[in-house]
Amino acid sequence: MYNYNIGEIINALSIEFVAIYLRKSRDDKSEEDVLANHRLELVELAQKYNLKYVIYEEIGTSDSIEFRPELKKLLREVKNGVYDAVLVIHPDRLGRGDWADVGEIRKAFKASNTVVITPQKVLDYNDENQELANDMDALMAKHEYRLIKGRLKAGKIRGAKRGRWTNGVPPFPYFYDRNTKSLVVDEAKLPIYRMMVEEYLNGTSLKDIAVKVNKMGIKTNRGKYWSEVKVERVIFSEIHLGRIIYGKTSGSGHKNKPAKPLEIKDRDEWIIVENCHTAIKTLEEHSRMLAIKNAKQKIPKRARNGVYALSGLIKCSKCGYSMRMNYKKTVTKGLKCYVVKCQKTDPFGNQCGHPGIDADILLEAIENELLLYLNEIKSFENPQPSNQYKLDDLLAEKRKELKNAEDGLNRIYK
């Protein structure tokens, strides 16, 4: 129980985007899950006041900045004014000990008007007393709140994404709210999403889920029918955990501007902003789904890509989908290769069923076509001389016409 009003201070300072900094102190070594408890307490604090947050968690226990890579990273962002505040369990988690270190930390917070929030108090390094009063009246008197607010806002980088949605069409069942620049759950679509997650957890295949939703007449947010891939994308998306992730890739995937190749960065380099919008699946459900997916992937695939000469090259003339190849044992001819009847199903689960063919017949037809094509290419290699003569004649004729015209002009000007 804290009897000061942290909510009003957070409001008055317009704090909305914060960092949570976690570090075990050397004194904590006896308790194993002390960091987990700290994390829980600070996350609850952020959620209570509706703050978007990024977690920085130090692995070591060193007091020195030099051996605290997460703090180094955090201080860089604090200096750039990315965060409105940093949440810590106690100010000593940021720094104590070396005076130079403490000085560096204070300087970063002061320069960018970033405050420190603990479950007990709000600290402002720009204030000589360093402690914002617990009640609002005193806060107003001491700081002239408007001034602080202006100062704080001016120090922030406006370009920082700060947990805002900037990725275009939001995934089902969210929609984009212009005013808050964030995602809102479409309550009408939510039960459908929950059904997809629960069906998957109960062992239903992605394909069957897609068919089921299509039969209900529900489309994706882009107005398309559901497919295995589209269902997989939304049920495994981390956006549905309330997160927005920035900086997953570096470089550009742009075809026309190959400045830097597109690269997926390591997960510990991503910026994961939590609590950006309402989560509609739990972390526990998310991990259980991942476990199911991994288990499914362990089943060996019988047909690997590239096993057959024509794998991936044969398209169904009825629906355009790739047709599969397979070997069959026959009594008369031994092992024979076939193109399998088209397996593609429409969004409602109906199979295309376009018949397959004996691969030998297909290969023979392809060979014949290739031979014809080869003859055509050969004829290009030896251009027929008659064409060349025709062109020379035409050129001579045009030159003659030009000469006549020039002669005519000369006569006029003479």
- Shortest Å distance, C-beta 342 to Zn ion: 3
CB-nearer residue toward Zn ion: 336 or 344: 344
Tell me how far, at minimum, the Cβ of 222 lies from Zn ion, in Å.
24
Long-range contacts of 337-343 (CB under 8 A, 24+ apart): 337/308, 339/310, 339/314, 342/316, 342/318
Residue 97 vs 355, nearer CB to Zn ion: 355
The C-alpha atoms of residue 41 and residue 181 are separated, in whole angstroms, by 28
At closest approach, how far in Å is the CB of 339 from Zn ion?
Answer: 11
Provide the sign of the torsion angle of the four alpha carbons 364, 370, 372, 378, taken in this order. negative
Size of the site for Zn ion (CB under 5 A): 7
Considering the complex, state which of residue 195 and residue 319 has its C-beta at the smaller distance from Zn ion: 319
In the complex with Zn ion, which residue's Cβ is closer, 247 or 320? 320
CB-wise, 271 or 352, nearer to Zn ion?
A: 352
Task: Count CA within 13 A, CB hemisphere, residue 232.
Answer: 9
The least CB distance from residue 210 to Zn ion, in Å, is: 17
**268 Cβ contact partners less than 8 Å away, ≥ 6 residues apart:** none
Tell the smallest beta-carbon distance from residue 225 to Zn ion (Å). 16
Footprint on residues 364-393 left by Zn ion (CB under 5 A) = none
Q: Which tokens belong to 189?
A: 């679509």
Query: Could you give the CA distance from residue 334 to residue 95 in angstroms, rounded to a whole number?
Result: 77
Phi, psi torsion values for 16, nearest 5 degrees: -135, -25
Minimum gap (Å) between residue 320 Cβ and Zn ion = 7
In angstroms, the CA 230 to CA 213 distance is 11
Q: Whose Cβ is closer to Zn ion: residue 292's or residue 352's?
A: 352
Q: Which is nearer to Zn ion, 319 or 362 (CB)?
A: 319
Site for Zn ion in 299-358 (CB under 5 A): 316, 318-319, 342, 344, 352, 354
Ramachandran angles phi, psi of 81, nearest 5°: 70, 30
Give the whole-angstrom CA distance, residue 112 versus residue 82. Answer: 9
Nearest to 275 by CA among 246, 239, 249, 248: 239
The nearest distance, CB 347 to Zn ion, in angstroms, is 14
With tokens 């593609």, the residue in question is 344
Instruction: Please report, as ranges, the residues that interact with Zn ion according to CB under 5 A.
Output: 316, 318-319, 342, 344, 352, 354
